[in-house]
């Protein structure tokens, strides 16, 4: 490996580390601001909105080539039913 190529490789690796650290710092800062902003309006949520925002069970779906039954939407005014359902 040539000296200049090695030099640029080292510079790139250091720059990459700085960018990653900077990204995670920024992400943590944004997350804190979002959580703080949510706390100020959390008491205005309706009970069904609060329950929707709670953690639920983890679900795992897998693709099947066989058609499954139609998946009924929980919010039909916003999302239509899934007729061509291939999730199992």
pLDDT band at 69 (very low <50, low <70, confident <90, very high): very high
pLDDT tens digits along 36-57:
898 888 889 888 888 887 788 8
pLDDT band at 1 (very low <50, low <70, confident <90, very high): low
pLDDT tens digits along 7-23:
778 777 888 888 888 88
- Tell me whether residue 6 is exposed, middle or buried, using C-beta atoms within 10 angstroms of its C-beta: 0 to 12, 13 to 18, 19 or more: exposed
Q: How many other CB atoms are found less than 10 A from the CB of residue 39?
A: 9
């Amino acid at each position: 490996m040539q000296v200049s190529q090695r030099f640029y490789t080292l510079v790139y690796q250091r720059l990459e580390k700085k960018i990653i650290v900077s990204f995670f710092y920024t992400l943590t800062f944004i997350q804190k601001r979002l959580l703080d902003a949510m706390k100020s309006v959390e008491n205005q949520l309706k009970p069904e909105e609060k329950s929707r925002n709670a953690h639920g069970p983890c679900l795992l779906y897998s693709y099947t080539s066989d058609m499954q039954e139609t998946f009924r939407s929980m919010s039909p005014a916003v999302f239509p039913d899934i007729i061509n359902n291939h999730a199992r």
